[in-house]
Amino acid sequence: MKKIIAVGISPSLELITCKALELIKKAPVVLVYDNDFPFNLQELLKDKKVIKLKPGFKEPNVIEENIRVIESLEEEWGVFLEIGDSSIRNPLYYHILGRYKVFEIERVPGVSSVTAVFSRLGINAEHFCVIGAEEESLLDSLIDRCDLFVIINIHKENLKIFDKLREHSYVVTFVKDCYNEGKEISNEMKWDTYWMIAVARKRENPSGNEEAKIAT
């Protein structure tokens, strides 16, 4: 295979674009992340040739195996399915290929999980900052300068970032499975799942209680 089209399939099948559906229908082979998805892909991929690729996470041997598998495919091109938009922390680039530029990659956008969460929470954003939960030093340089943060890549070892935000009068809201059956909203992190985004908004009234308005 020479070319991969990274297709954003949005955070829910309710939001998937016509372009994504068209490309999946035409694709001779579909590449997917070997992990649980927040919704069932069975009907979407019915009668398709599907290749599952493992996340590398700094493991060169896994990344090298992914590259070998893709190179061995006889098809000239295929699609890689990415939840949300295909450009934001795309696992194809970071975790599947390990930043190696081995194949021609084209990106097709989808509905971003970030903007889907904004819609779910009724947020009208003039500006915002997106950071990973592990990027505490970046938060330190931006806190109190940005009124609205979106925090992604949340893991248990990174939770102190939320304590810091609350100390600076931000209200933190966690959203799980934004537009799917398992969707939940909470002011506390109650789940251990990759399919979660946190939003932190600066209190308009630091002495007030805004949690009740947000977690609905």
The closest alpha carbon to 91, from 81, 103, 101, belongs to 81
Cα distance between residue 210 and residue 121, in whole Å: 13
Task: Give the CA-trace dihedral at 31, 37, 41, 47, to 10 degrees.
Answer: 30
Give pLDDT tens digits for 70-120: 999 999 999 999 989 988 877 788 888 988 888 999 999 999 999 999 999
Taking residue 23's Cβ as centre, other Cβ atoms within 10 Å add up to: 20
Domain 3-111 matches domain 114-214 at the CATH topology level: no
Cα distance between residue 185 and residue 193, in whole Å: 13
Give pLDDT tens digits for 20-46: 999 999 999 999 988 778 888 999 999
Per domain, the residue ranges of the chain are 3-111, 114-214
Cα distance between residue 78 and residue 5, in whole Å: 6
Cα distance between residue 22 and residue 98, in whole Å: 28
Cα distance between residue 39 and residue 44, in whole Å: 10
Confidence grade of residue 190 (pLDDT, cut at 50, 70, 90):
confident
Which stretches of 109-169 are assigned E, i.e. beta strand?
A: 129-132, 148-152
CATH topology of domain 114-214: 3.30.950
Which position has the higher pLDDT, 88 or 209? 88
CATH topology of domain 3-111: Cobalt-precorrin-4 Transmethylase; domain 1 (3.40.1010)
